[in-house]
Amino acid sequence: MQNFAETGIMPEEMLFNDSEEAIKRFTGLTLTNIEQAGLKKIVSEIYKFQVEQIRKKNETGADIDYVPPVDEAIARFLSEFYDISEDKRKWKQLFELSVNKDGSREASGRVKEYFRRKQDEAHLI
């Protein structure tokens, strides 16, 4: 298979690592084993979809719908584990709330507490 630079397909392991890091940054969560397994499943599905889209484009020359894979993984993860709408605008609004006063992109205390509480309520810890 061609490499990432040639295809635009993010390798599965890179997609998982980037998604996990982004979730931690946006929510303050350290993912539990259950959440990591769920994220790996989501990432695997996104990766397979990307590969199929590129294959179709190569065979037919048709334009494909491109969704940034990390954005897709975060949206699906938050929807599945925290019942936050998969609508990317909704989780991006949450991200905007998590920008600290100094402009850093780490989750604010309020956002971290929300997700810790949700994680605890779901008995994921």
Domain residue ranges in the chain = 4-121
Mean pLDDT across the chain: 77
**Spatial separation of the C-alpha atoms in residues 47 and 10, rounded to whole Å:** 8
For every residue of the chain, which 3-state class applies, written as one string? CCCHHHHCCCCHHHHHHHHHHHHHHHHCCCCCHHHHHHHHHHHHHHHHHHHHHHHHHHHHCCCCCCCCHHHHHHHHHHHHHHCCCCCHHHHHHHHHHCCCCCCCCCCCHHHHHHHHHHHHHCCCC
In tens, the pLDDT along 1-11 reads 445 555 566 78
The mean per-residue pLDDT over the stretch 44-56 comes to: 86
Is residue 67 pLDDT above 70, yes or no?
Answer: no
**Spatial separation of the C-alpha atoms in residues 62 and 76, rounded to whole Å:** 26
In tens, the pLDDT along 84-125 reads 765 655 656 665 555 556 666 566 677 778 888 888 887 655
Is residue 35 pLDDT above 80, yes or no?
Answer: yes
Q: Looking at residue 45, what is its pLDDT?
A: 93
